[in-house]
Amino acid sequence: MAKSEIFRAKVEAQPNNMLFRFSLAQALTEEGHSLAAIPHLQRCSDSRDDWMLPRILLGKALLQNGQTATAKPILEKSLQLAIEQDHREPAAELQKILADLD
């Protein structure tokens, strides 16, 4: 059974559990289904203003699916959160991604 199937069942049982939804999105992304992960990552991002990781994955998924204009402000917000929360490695990665977009 694919990891996404496990978390899809958990999300169906508890649709407002953002940790299950985030885990589903991660599994979908790992399985090569980044487009399917986007709505779950968006819900996670919308659920908390300070939750950096779903925003990073959302921005990357949007980029992978040709939605650069939508991804850029999300990645910029992710970078801001990474800096505020002192997450140096994600901040460096986001700076590189954003520099490549310019």
**Those residues with Cβ within 8 angstroms of residue 82's Cβ, 6 or more apart along the chain or in another chain:** 52, 56, 88, 90, 91, 94
Give the pLDDT confidence score for residue 13 in this predicted structure: 98
Give the pLDDT confidence of 25-77 residue by residue, as tens digits: 999 999 999 999 999 999 999 999 999 999 999 999 999 999 999 999 999 99
Q: Virtual CA dihedral for 6, 66, 73, 60, nearest 10 degrees?
A: 40
Q: What is the pTM of this model?
A: 0.94
Give the pLDDT confidence score for residue 80 in this predicted structure: 98
Domains and CATH numbers, the chain: 3-101 (1.25.40.10)
> For 73-87, b where at least 16 C-beta lie within 10 A, e where not — what string?
ebbebbbebbeeeeb
